[in-house]
């Protein structure tokens, strides 16, 4: 593991990308040299609140994916597993994305040899509609006038076409029920250290991207992109490194506080009584890759199902299948038509499991979650 500061040597990318454009340039290196068939990244479709996963095969198009999209809470792990298992791709990943990829690698559903993962440090994401509402309410700005947004120094900051910026403290937004998604508020993995490299602006000098190189593949990638003239690099100062870890630690501390405050709500939650058994939570779950053959589809669970189903025989079954591998991506919350905070209980049980076994889903280096281990140990 080592640190490096990097920036693009391409002027157009420098202009369009966040803080140095190193990520876009690294993708350009991979595409131009034919190392990958495509780059899977987010591109704004209708507006900046509408980030959609897009496969880029021509490096000319990469520029359209440059920038940060905090209002696009997407999940990439299951997309790779379903549609890219046989292709060589590079992909930009938030911590929850790489954690899902890691869990799917453990389940032999993604081949780590075939993908390059470029991590993006993440302070959390905002649901697009919530984001628009809060910009309207707290910023007194028409959300359509916003050209870009970022999260920095505890603030959610929007930028207008004339270059002016306005920020509001995330803490204040979240007190009022806006701000980041609930699972992001709880999330204590802010730097994607299972990706080949983890990039961000925390601790970085202006105009540079701070990169943590996580493995040999990441090191080779940086060295080659530099050698081929796509990026330039320099060593970060001690203060840089310290500042970055300070940002990370503050955020983790805040998340732990939220966890302690919220986990109690999961117990005997009455929201289950409006469950319509639509299976959206299961079908979107990146860990539930085998949902086509799910035990919940077996006649003994499905045929005489009540609506709402008994939570123990519905979520209970899913919990027993994969809660120890829950990466708290919050997709189940996002897609639940009844707004049941599904991820809360899954995250809570993964943390309980972690307390007992030390296993953190998508982060721990164990080959498999210990539940699957053939070892003769009680845990």
For 369, the 3-state DSSP assignment is coil
The angle formed by the CA atoms of residues 61, 127 and 44, to the nearest 5 degrees, is 15
User: Is 82 a residue that touches another protein (CB under 8 A)?
Assistant: yes
CB of 185 to another protein, least distance (A): 18
Q: Do the Cβ atoms of 19 and 207 come closer than 8 Å?
A: yes
User: Please, are residues 11 and 4 in contact by the beta-carbon 8 Å criterion?
Assistant: no
**Which lies closer to another protein via its Cβ, residue 266 or residue 360?**
266
Nearest-approach distance from CB 355 to another protein, in angstroms: 10
| Angle between helix 311-322 and helix 342-357 axes, rounded to 10 deg | 50
Beta bridge partners of 148: 159
List of E strands, 184-335: 197-200, 209-213, 231-234
Site residues for another protein, window 90-129 (CB under 8 A)?
127-129
Q: Which of residues 232-261 bind another protein (CB under 8 A)?
A: none
Structure tokens at 126: 């905002």
Q: Which of 177, 181, 199 is nearest to 190 (CA)?
A: 199
Q: Where are the beta strands (DSSP E) in 16-88?
A: 38-44, 51-56
- According to CB under 8 A, which residues from 276 to 315 bind another protein? 276, 278-280, 283-284, 295, 300-301, 306-308, 310-313, 315
Choose, by CB under 8 A, the member of 273, 290, 297, 358 that binds another protein: 273
Q: State which of positions 32-61 bind another protein (CB under 8 A).
A: 38, 40, 45-47, 49-50, 52-55, 57
Binders of another protein in range 149-208 (CB under 8 A): none
Q: Which stretch binds another protein (CB under 8 A): 159-167, 226-234, 244-252, 319-327?
A: 319-327
CB of 73 to another protein, least distance (A): 7
Nearer to another protein (CB atom), residue 256 or residue 352: 352
340's tokens: 């049941």
Helix, strand, or coil here: 90? Answer: strand
345 touching another protein, by CB under 8 A: yes
If one counts every other C-beta atom within 10 angstroms of the C-beta of residue 307, the result is 9
- From 1-9, 114-122, 146-154, 337-345, span contacting another protein (CB under 8 A): 337-345
* Count of residues that interact with another protein, criterion CB under 8 A: 74
């Amino acid at each position: 593991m080592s640190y490096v500061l990097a920036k693009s040597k391409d002027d157009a990318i420098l202009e369009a990308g966040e803080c140095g454009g190193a990520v876009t340039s690294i993708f350009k290196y991979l595409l131009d040299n034919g190392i990958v068939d495509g780059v899977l990244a987010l591109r704004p479709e209708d507006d900046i609140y509408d980030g959609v996963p897009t496969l880029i095969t021509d490096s000319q198009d990469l520029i359209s994916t440059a920038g940060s999209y905090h209002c696009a809470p997407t999940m990439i792990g299951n997309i790779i597993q379903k549609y890219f298992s046989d292709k060589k791709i590079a992909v930009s990943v938030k911590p929850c994305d790489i954690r899902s990829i890691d869990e799917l690698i453990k389940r032999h559903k993604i081949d780590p040899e075939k993908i390059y993962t470029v991590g993006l440090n993440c302070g959390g994401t905002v649901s697009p509609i919530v984001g628009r509402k809060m910009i309207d309410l707290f910023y007194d700005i028409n959300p359509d006038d916003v050209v870009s947004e970022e999260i920095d120094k505890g603030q959610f900051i929007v930028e207008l076409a004339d270059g002016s910026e306005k920020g509001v403290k995330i803490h204040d937004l979240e007190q009022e029920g806006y701000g980041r998604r609930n699972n992001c508020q709880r999330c204590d993995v802010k730097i994607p250290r299972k990706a080949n490299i983890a990039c961000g602006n925390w601790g970085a000098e202006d105009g540079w991207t701070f990169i943590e190189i996580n493995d040999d593949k990441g090191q080779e990638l940086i060295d080659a992109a530099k050698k081929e003239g796509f990026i330039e690099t320099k060593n970060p100062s001690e203060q840089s490194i310290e500042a970055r870890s300070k940002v990370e630690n503050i955020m983790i501390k805040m998340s732990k506080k939220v966890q302690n405050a919220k986990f109690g709500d999961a117990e005997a939650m009455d929201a289950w009584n409006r469950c319509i058994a639509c299976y959206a939570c299961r079908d979107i779950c990146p860990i539930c890759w085998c949902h086509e053959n799910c035990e919940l589809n077996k006649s003994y669970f499905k045929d005489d199902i009540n609506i709402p189903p008994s939570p123990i025989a519905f979520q209970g079954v899913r919990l027993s299948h994969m809660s120890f591998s829950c990466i708290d991506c919050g997709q189940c919350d996002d897609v639940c038509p009844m707004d049941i905070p599904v991820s809360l209980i899954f995250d809570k049980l993964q943390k309980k499991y972690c307390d007992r076994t030390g296993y953190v889903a998508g982060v721990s280096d164990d080959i498999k979650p210990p539940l699957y281990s053939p070892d003769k140990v009680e845990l």
